[in-house]
Chains A and B, each alone.
Chain A
Amino acid sequence: MMGGIRKLGRWGLGTFERLGRAHIFLYYILMGAPSVLLRFGLLVQQMLSVGVLSLLIIVVSGFFVGMVLGLQGYNTLVDFGAEQSLGVVVALSLVRELGPVVASLLFAGRAGSALTAEIGLMKSTEQLSGMEMMAVDPIKRIIAPRFLAGFISLPILATIFSAVGVAGGYFVGVGLLGVDDGAFWSQMQAKVDFSEDIMNGVIKSIVFGFVVTWIAVFEGYDCVPTSEGVSRATTRTVVHSSLAILGLDFVLTALMFGNI
């Protein structure tokens, strides 16, 4: 009995200690962020590996998600003779929810895990300690550029995801299923609001970008420096990021659209 309570207590202490470390770490990253702007090349290099190389999976998934939305939406709407509203269904679900959320989930799997593995491996091969020996701050040199790159890249990727998804929905709805071209766009433009829908979607993706990259770089920096530790940290990044994205998405949706 007492042993069980003690275990629970140890788990709780450990969790909160980690949480505290993560926040202190975030503070150091944010303090180090301005110096990244002075060495712009580092940021650009990281945006290539974090953002540009994630582009393919984002574009392909976005197109297919849009096509599936078009197909499923059409099947339901055609019963009511309301297939002209297909554009609204596709655009609203993509811009408000699926764009930011699915793009962030893919980003966590594609780029977040890579960030964790890279930083974790640097730590276990003592490259980070080596830098400290040379009086180079690894947070400013390694962590902050990656954090900023992810934070900037994800909103761009999510926007591209939504745009490509709408194109996919257009391709299926208008191209294959024969919804009227003008009704598709006109109803969409009548119902989708720029500041209400599109900008809220962008705000969501900015929040997700912040959280996902924070989790990724922290897990890498905080991992147990063994090959097993790196593998566990990578798994944790994907699991925790996905949970954080979905949980935060509910909170943000409730705040933005929920009238709670």
Chain B
Amino acid sequence: MHNSKTVEIIVGLFVALGIAALFMLAMKVSNLSAFSGDGGYVIQARFENIGGLKVRSPVTVAGVRVGRISDIGFDNTTYEAIVSMNIEGDYNTLPTDTSASIFTAGLLGEQYVALEPGGAEKYLQQGGEVRLTQSAIVLEQVIGQFLYSQAEGGDKK
């Protein structure tokens, strides 16, 4: 029905498709993927506690996603987390006094970095640093503090 050359080509394509599927699973689905920095620029922020923030988590301004976390490091001298954010090239007018906070989407949702622009004249460039940061809210600490304050209040009564 087919001559052998066509058969070989079709089977070759089939095998190639299988390898491509495995490659897609490896790169896109599992954590084997390399850093994906296409365009844009990288800024950094230091946090005391990043909670459950992960690489590739979203970075938002006013709720709009403007970039992703590209790397999370640790400073051995100040014991702070260094979060590198890859901001897309379109959003290049973030003032230098922008502040960054880590929020949670929903009660159990993913954590993300929210940027709040300040009023400075200059804009953040490649390698710039966000100086005003607010750490992630760790739910256990909040509940602990709440219970503690409740217990104190109860004693006074």
Contacts and interface: CB of A to CB of B under 8 A. Distances in A.
Contact of A52 (B10, B26, B68): B10
B55 interface: yes
Contacts, number: 114
A160 interface: yes
A159 B21 contact: yes
Nearest to A192: B30
A80 B22 CA distance: 32
B108 A82 contact: yes
A163 interface: yes
A166 to B, nearest CB: 6
Interface in A36-89: 41, 44-45, 47-48, 51-52, 55, 80-82, 84
Q: How large is the interface on A (under 10, 10 to 19, 20 to 34, 35 or more residues)?
A: 35 or more
Interface centre among B4, B30, B54, B105 (most CB of A within 10 A): B30
A160 B17 contact: yes
A202 interface: yes
Contacts of B18: 155-157, 159-160
Interface residues of B, number: 35
- List 9 tightest A-B contacts by C-beta distance, closest first: A156-B18, A81-B106, A186-B56, A163-B21, A194-B30, A160-B21, A159-B21, A192-B30, A194-B32
Given A81-B106, A156-B14, 17 more contacts: A41-B4, A48-B14, A51-B11, A84-B109, A157-B18, A160-B17, A163-B24, A163-B25, A164-B21, A166-B24, A182-B65, A182-B68, A183-B110, A187-B110, A190-B55, A193-B31, A198-B22
Interface of B: 2, 4, 7-8, 10-11, 14-15, 17-18, 20-22, 24-26, 28-33, 54-58, 65, 68, 105-110
Interface of A: 41, 44-45, 47-48, 51-52, 55, 80-82, 84, 91, 95, 153, 155-157, 159-160, 162-164, 166, 180, 182-183, 185-190, 192-194, 197-198, 202
